[in-house]
Structure 1
């Protein structure tokens, strides 16, 4: 049974299964209703203009510091936990379905063992998408997010697992860390299986939007870490997956990162278009465009 469905007539219109909808309800919508009923009322109406204003102010298009509180003139203080909840309601479905679309349609066949390294993992969004798209079971998941609150949400969602009546998590082998600079040391400490049958996937879903990478020196430093990791794992298959809004500023950062990497690369990112239903108000969000790129070392 599919975890994510295509509409029968519109194949890039994605809908959650009952189990995924249950996860959204228990782990995203319900906590949001309990902690911020004042904000939920905006989504129930829905008040589109006020939702847009609030999300831009508090979430800053997803680039906010989720480790710090923020203040809105109308709705007061948003704690890190509040901001994570707002992010999940506002962005998680879009990111989940767009990532699923990319993995499902454009990711080449993968090996038996997978090490999925998720830069800017958020609330496990890309992890769920990969799990649903590939039906892969032997996965070591490494999520990286600078926010402890976001890592805690990823842990909770992983433990909830995919199915309503099962206690199994999405991933048995899951590691959540807050600093990508720790990756080389961390990778040396975990068991990854036979290198000849291991596929290492570096996933960058909206990661380069961070203000950190407005500084070219930080992009260069990130590339050095990736090159070090790939040199340590040269016997494994290695793949990079990138996704961002179709915004030239973010694509320039991706071009800069690619230019420093020892990979065979595509010429330009491509654009995927899809649709999905928003959480809470259930309105269809159509003609969603995302930029993506996939390339391999071996």
Structure 2
């Protein structure tokens, strides 16, 4: 058995803001992917994955929801026959490793599933997001459902608000100097502790004010610029966003990268922002000159995502 491929995702804009109903933009990232496979001889990583899927099976078996039901007998039989999730998506890196797994399980075992080939109305998208939120909460304690949605549809998704999401057309890549890239912090992060820090910060009125008056405004402007292809304005807004994140989200930025982050802002060689919840994993970078950014960050591993 080999299931269809499900890709990683990158939340270009909107980390944390989408929890509080501001805009977000997520794109598939097909450098990393995963698929369900079966082996007669489980060992190492595949054995660990199978054990994790057994726990996920128990969680799904106990879901008491009108939203979705699953073919649990088939799921259980496949697990007993050595099913595991074969994935190249790094875990704890903010690129949706659990999202791809959730999408693959829904695709294979959900009854009356909404398929990618249907006319995806807003109601269907919201239902899928709600189902995925329920499923992925097993991994994170609290999930928006966006990572699995992105992986399942393999389309860019624009989040206008919790109740308003739509597939987005993004400008095709150009062979220009500018780029979006990933910077490897070389340490895994965990979503749940980071979200808990954020929720504690939200009790502070000043932080809430910053989120709505600075963070959300810059995020929304970045999304608008990116979708419209306004590159010059985009970099101005990304710089503003990078400053706000460095000032207000320090616990989510690994300590070793505080100076690297500030250096980008002061030199204009690149601008950094969180990729997912932060705390480790990848950091997202934007630059008007990728070669210059590579020289400036020569001690770090970079991966190209998108060219301007």
- Which structure would you say has the larger Rg? 2
What band does the TM-score fall into relative to the shorter chain? under 0.3
TM-score, normalised via structure 2 length: 0.26
TM-score, normalised via structure 1 length: 0.26
Larger RCO, structures 1/2 (Cα 8 Å, 6+ apart): 2
